[in-house]
Chains A and B, each alone.
Chain A
Amino acid sequence: MRPENYQAVKLGQSNEYEIFIGPNHPGIEGNYAFRLMLDGDIVVSGKADAGYLHRGFEKLMEGRLWIQNLAIVPRICVPDPAPMEVAYSMAVEEIMGIEAPIRAQWIRTMQLELSRVAAHLFTFGGHAATTGMYTPMFWGVADRDLVLDLFEDFTGGRVYSIYNIPGGVRRELPPEFLQKLSNLLDYLESRQNDYDNLLFTNQVFVDRAKGCGALTQEQALELSVTGPNLRACGLAYDVRRDDPYLVYDELEFDIPIQTAGDAYARILVRRDELFQSIRILRQIIERLPSIKGKIRTPIPNPLSWNVRKGEAYARVESSKGELAYYVVSDGGDKPYRVHVRGPSSMHAVQTLEFLAKGARLEDVAQIMFSLDACPPEVDR
Chain B
Amino acid sequence: MNALHLMAELIFMPLIAFIVGMMMVLMMRKIAARLQRRIGPPFFQPLYDIVKLYGKDTQISHGLIHDIGIIMAVGGYIGAEILLPVPGMEGIAAKGGVITLSYFLMIPSLGMALGVGQCANPNGSIGISRALTAMLAYDIPFILVVFGAAWHYQSTSLIGMIEYQQMHQWGIVEMPLLAIAGLFALQGMLGKQPFEIYIAPAEIATGPMVEMSGKYMGGLFVMQTFQLYTAGVLYASLFLGGGTSFLTLLPKAFLVVALPMSIAFMFPRYKTEDVIRILWKWPVMLALISLAFIL
Contacts and interface: CB of A to CB of B under 8 A. Distances in A.
Interface stretch (A46-54, A128-136, A251-259): A128-136
Interface residues of A, number: 33
13 contacts: A3-B121, A3-B211, A5-B121, A19-B122, A19-B123, A25-B205, A132-B268, A135-B35, A135-B36, A138-B37, A205-B267, A208-B271, A365-B202
Contacts of A202: 266-268
Nearest to B206: A26
B261 to A, nearest CB: 12
Query: Which 9 pairs across A and B sit closest by C-beta, in order of nearness?
Result: A132-B269, A131-B268, A138-B36, A27-B202, A133-B268, A130-B202, A365-B202, A132-B268, A26-B201
A208 B62 contact: no
Contacts of B272: 41, 362
Contacts of B53: none
Given A129-B202, A132-B268, A1 B37 contact: no
A10 B197 CA distance: 28
Given A1-B62, A138-B36, A208 B121 contact: no
A6 B123 CA distance: 10
A204 interface: yes
Interface of A: 1, 3, 5-6, 17, 19, 25-27, 41, 128-135, 138-139, 142, 198, 202, 204-205, 207-208, 360-362, 364-366
A207 B203 CA distance: 17
Contacts of A3: 62, 119-121, 211
Contacts of B203: 27, 130, 361-362, 364-365
A361 B127 CA distance: 12
Contact of A132 (B121, B126, B200, B274): B200
Contact of B126 (A131, A361, A364): A361
B271 A362 contact: yes
A26 B200 CA distance: 10
Contacts of B265: 133-135
Contacts of B274: 207
Interface in B13-41: 32, 35-38
A360 B120 CA distance: 22
Given A142-B37, A207-B274, A135 B201 contact: no
B276 to A, nearest CB: 14
A27 B203 CA distance: 6
B202 A26 contact: yes
A360 B271 contact: yes
A135 B266 contact: yes
Interface in B107-129: 119-123, 126
Contacts of B60: 1
Contacts of A361: 126, 203-204
